[in-house]
Structure 1
């Protein structure tokens, strides 16, 4: 296959996802949607439509093919490695009070929306089910490591682990995985009308969530991005995806499994990082700059990454 044809095929996978982000940006600038819409829609996605999408994708999956403990374990170790790498870099290059925010912004990806959407676009049902199972690992590791980083560099802050564990245990995405796995394992059938209604409801998830991401982008924040935001963004979108994906390949992963992991590693910084930084007294402005910059960078870095991996025959 010619490289030009392969590149066009890669664009067909990534462009629909990022087109929805820019549609959201356009709708916000045209004042067709506002902050209230984004807030309500984001809550709807997080609490209802995304858990439904995850539940349906898992119960339809062949767990023998998608439930891969080695993949889940490697992703957790890769996340830990990414945190330690960012921590070491921040210790050398970043002012003390900004290190926690920098570390979180550099490793915490938006896997639940952007990563899952790209996995679904590239691998269909396999991407959805594998990505949904990976989200359980993502939620546990990202929340724990973010709190550790932020607490370490914020004076007067203490980690309320009881509250953290409660939020993880009641997270709708975690609950969707916990409920779906035994249903899928036992093969318990659900009524056809319920599955169809669930599909209608779940189909709202990705376009609505991506539009909300676009509506929260701010070119003003990007223009105000300083050296730290640029550094964290390059770490998140270039350095870590290369290192983590390379490590996964050396560990023996290839094909769709490696592709899904790359898309999760290469996802832009999650909006949840802003909420946590603000709640714990960190530099919320720096976090917002990192989120905006990585989201715009993703349309280029993810596309190029997928193209290189496909051209190399690795995914």
Structure 2
């Protein structure tokens, strides 16, 4: 049991410390909003793509064996999406709140907190598996997010055709998706290993990705929003922090997942609400204040939920 507790602390505390550093820097005026925006763009456009590309290219993981894990992740996503849609249609009246609520429940922060926690738990092999999982499920996240947020739109000429075009454009220009596709293509053609200056440069950029992303996440925390959640944001937060991990465990067990695969599924599904949920809600006319409240609360509190769940699963020998 002590080993399970130490495991949970080890995989979560480094992330919390880095987020705490970011929050401390923001309070001291050392991390302005301009810095956060620029650093986040740098991580998203350059560092994370390098991390994902080299994680896949350098690994010896048989990705064909990850089909069951990915299928389980897709099932978890659909259960959360459909369940939150039904709940929102029954208990939430404002269209601008419904889509934000649904997105807050089903869309987790896989690219930053999920990957960072998986890397802490399982090292390079886990990171490679997590990168592939994230790449596939991210496609589904984007499609479902556009669908649920399309209840309201700032554009009166918005149509389903324009929404489909928006999804395709987002996926085709997403640096993370481009990096993963390039990595899969590189391995598929059995090209020679990347070495020398190019690989060293990629490693340096990759090493920056998760620490800087977590610092930016911490610097973006708004205590007022986090400590004053509305009824709807609290309901969404419970869905993300409590319901989502439980569903992930149930689906993982039903798919026969154990060990690292169960761990990756749990940590990716139990991660706090994705930062992109706020950006997309604001862009598509959703309640951006509600999105910010959900994001802030789950970002901090959700980390403790991940630690508790990971400790229990580890103690039971499931991850």
Structure 2 unaligned runs (5+)? none
The CA deviation string for residues 248-294 of structure 1, in whole angstroms up to 9 with x for no partner, is: 11111111011001011001011111111111111000000000000
Q: Residue 108 of structure 2 contacts residue 271 of structure 2 at CA under 8 Å; is this kept in 1? A: yes
TM-score w.r.t. structure 1 length?
0.95
Structure-2 change in CA distance of 1:65 and 1:272 (3 Å): closer
Structure 1 position 111 matched with structure 2 position 110: yes
Structure 1 position 7 matched with structure 2 position 5: yes
Q: Comparing 62-71 with 118-127, which one deviates more in the overlay?
A: 62-71
In the other structure, the counterpart of 2:46 is 48
The CA deviation string for residues 4-51 of structure 1, in whole angstroms up to 9 with x for no partner, is: 343123201210011111111111001111101100001011110000
In the other structure, the counterpart of 2:239 is 235
Q: Residue 45 of structure 1 contacts residue 209 of structure 1 at CA under 8 Å; is this kept in 2? A: yes
Structure 1 unaligned runs (5+)? none
> How many residues of Structure 1 are paired with residues of Structure 2 in the alignment?
313
Q: CA RMSD in A?
A: 1.6
In the other structure, the counterpart of 1:261 is 265
Superposition deviation, residue 246 in structure 1:
1.2
Q: Residue 126 of structure 2 contacts residue 264 of structure 2 at CA under 8 Å; is this kept in 1? A: yes
Structure-2 change in CA distance of 1:66 and 1:25 (3 Å): farther
Q: The residue matched to 2:62 in structure 1 has which SS?
A: helix
Superposition deviation, residue 153 in structure 1:
5.3
In the other structure, the counterpart of 2:251 is 247
Q: Distance in 2 between matches of 1:190 and 1:196?
A: 9
Q: The residue matched to 1:221 in structure 2 has which SS?
A: helix
Q: Distance in 2 between matches of 1:268 and 1:222?
A: 13
Q: Determine which of 225, 228, 236 is the counterpart of 1:224.
A: 228
Q: Determine which of 271, 278, 283 is the counterpart of 2:287.
A: 283
Q: Residue 100 of structure 1 contacts residue 154 of structure 1 at CA under 8 Å; is this kept in 2? A: no
The CA deviation string for residues 211-265 of structure 1, in whole angstroms up to 9 with x for no partner, is: 0000110011123311111110010011111012211111111110110010110
Q: Distance in 1 between matches of 2:231 and 2:64?
A: 41
In the other structure, the counterpart of 2:164 is 161
Structure 1 position 309 matched with structure 2 position 313: yes
Structure-2 change in CA distance of 1:228 and 1:166 (3 Å): same
TM-score w.r.t. structure 2 length?
0.94
Q: Comparing 301-310 with 218-227, which one deviates more in the overlay?
A: 218-227
